[in-house]
């Protein structure tokens, strides 16, 4: 049900001002969550995620301030398999390099919590947030806090015997929760800024937009398994994989369903296939929308979707062919979220009005 500007108190001028404040705050949170997702991907790519073996939501805010504390944390890190299998002998200086990225990742999560909570309290106290929006915002704040626990649940899987990285399943759960939080914040911000839907071109355009959005979300989740299994480090050709359209060994695991999440060949092929289907569905959405005379913010959202999907598809190919360099991989992950942003904006502009 779309928000109505009349829900914002204190007259038309004040209502507009409150609406802009609330929307701006929510968009800022979206930007921070996007940064968090990209930072988390970079942490994984550099193998930094297991460098901090303690979950200290409050005390962990400060970095080590003495050499003794640095040494204590390094001693803890030396107890896990990743150190012995990948980093043995790299010393305290090497440990500090991977530590800082993970510490920044966790600090950014704490900052998101502060930027969420403080304005929420202030805007609530000023009466700038309509009553029926408040429960949703509280729920989103709780979800954001729970994401910290999910993150530790993921990190702790890297402490098991012979583990050099976190569980792919837990990585995908962590990513999925972040995406749900991001989409919910974005949808809420758009609803506050534009309470009423744009003129609807055709029902078919909306159906295509939903198809494209569902395929895009599934592709991003599949990409989480590609990342978790380091599947991008093999089959570095495109469009064929080892000279075949469908790679040999696609169904090597038994039962078959395990191939979808545990078989490197199958996981990479599925990600490629889903990305191609997403590009086709997005293109069909854009063509249908423009053909139906899309205007205003819907037209802008459709153009943004076309651009983001095209760039994302090209980045995916470039990342694969270059064997997952850090810069391209981080850009690929960031653009995935931008493509999701455009897709949500299209859906939001196409949503039905409450009266219909």
Number of H helices, E strands in the chain: 11, 0
So what's the pLDDT on residue 293? 87
Rounded CA gap, 209 and 286, in Å? 8
Confidence tier at 355 by pLDDT (50, 70, 90): very low
Checking if the pLDDT of 7 tops 90, the result is no
So what's the pLDDT on residue 47? 82
Checking if the pLDDT of 130 tops 70, the result is yes
- Chain segment 79-116, per-residue pLDDT in tens: 888 888 888 888 899 999 999 999 999 999 999 999 99
Sorted by sequence, the CB contacts under 8 Å of residue 164 that are 6+ apart come out as 47, 81, 82, 85, 86, 158
When mean pLDDT is compared across 199-213, 272-286, 323-337, the lowest value belongs to 199-213
Q: Give Cα 15 distance to the centre of its chain.
A: 32
Percent of the chain with pLDDT over 70: 93
Checking if the pLDDT of 356 tops 50, the result is no
So what's the pLDDT on residue 15? 77
Q: Compute CA distances 179 → 128, 152, 328, whole Å.
A: 27, 17, 21
Determine contact, residues 338/187, Cβ cutoff 8 Å. Answer: no
Rounded CA gap, 198 and 71, in Å? 59
Rounded CA gap, 93 and 111, in Å? 27
- Chain segment 136-155, per-residue pLDDT in tens: 999 999 999 999 899 989 98
Domain boundaries, the chain: 1-196, 197-356
Beta bridge partners of 244: 241
So what's the pLDDT on residue 9? 55
Confidence tier at 316 by pLDDT (50, 70, 90): very high
Mean pLDDT, the chain, whole residue set? 90
So what's the pLDDT on residue 129? 92
Q: Compute CA distances 31 → 27, 45, 108, 217, 335, whole Å.
A: 6, 21, 12, 18, 13
So what's the pLDDT on residue 354? 43
So what's the pLDDT on residue 44? 86
Determine contact, residues 150/177, Cβ cutoff 8 Å. Answer: yes
Confidence tier at 174 by pLDDT (50, 70, 90): very high
Determine contact, residues 10/18, Cβ cutoff 8 Å. Answer: yes
So what's the pLDDT on residue 320? 96
So what's the pLDDT on residue 1? 46
Q: Which residues of 162-176 are buried (b: 16+ CB within 10 A; e: fewer)?
A: eebbbbbebbbbbbe
Checking if the pLDDT of 18 tops 90, the result is no
- Identify the three-state secondary structure at position 356: coil
Checking if the pLDDT of 119 tops 60, the result is yes
């Amino acid at each position: 049900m779309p928000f109505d500007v009349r829900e914002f108190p204190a007259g038309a001028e004040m209502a507009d001002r409150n609406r802009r404040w609330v929307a701006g705050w929510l968009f800022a949170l979206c930007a921070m969550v996007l940064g968090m997702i990209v930072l988390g991907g970079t942490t994984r790519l550099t193998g930094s995620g297991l460098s901090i073996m303690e979950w200290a939501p409050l005390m962990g805010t400060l970095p080590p301030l003495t050499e003794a504390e640095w040494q204590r944390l390094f001693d803890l890190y030396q107890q896990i398999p990743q150190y012995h299998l990948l980093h043995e002998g790299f010393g305290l200086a090497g440990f500090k390099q991977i530590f800082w990225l993970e510490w920044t990742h966790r600090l950014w999560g704490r900052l998101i919590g502060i930027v969420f909570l403080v304005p929420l309290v202030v805007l609530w106290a000023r009466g700038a947030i309509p009553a029926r929006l408040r429960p949703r915002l509280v729920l989103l704040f709780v979800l954001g806090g729970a994401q910290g626990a999910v993150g530790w649940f993921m990190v702790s899987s890297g402490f098991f015997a012979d583990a050099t990285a976190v569980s792919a399943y837990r990585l995908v759960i962590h990513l999925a929760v972040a995406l749900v939080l991001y989409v919910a914040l974005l949808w809420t911000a758009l609803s506050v800024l534009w309470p009423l839907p744009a003129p609807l071109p055709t029902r078919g355009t909306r159906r295509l937009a939903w198809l494209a959005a569902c395929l895009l979300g599934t592709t991003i989740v599949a990409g989480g398994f590609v990342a978790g299994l380091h599947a991008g480090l093999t089959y570095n050709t495109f469009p064929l994989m080892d000279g075949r359209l469908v790679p040999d060994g696609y169904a090597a695991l038994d039962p078959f369903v395990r191939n979808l999440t545990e078989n490197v060949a199958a996981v990479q092929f599925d990600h490629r296939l889903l990305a191609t289907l997403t590009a086709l569905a997005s293109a069909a959405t854009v063509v249908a929308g423009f053909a139906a005379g899309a205007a205003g913010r819907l037209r802008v959202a459709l153009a943004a979707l076309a651009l983001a999907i095209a760039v994302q598809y090209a980045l995916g190919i470039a990342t694969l062919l270059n064997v997952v360099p850090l810069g391209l991989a981080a850009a690929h992950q960031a653009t995935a979220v931008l493509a999701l942003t455009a897709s949500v904006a299209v859906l939001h502009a196409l949503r039905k009005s409450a009266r219909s």
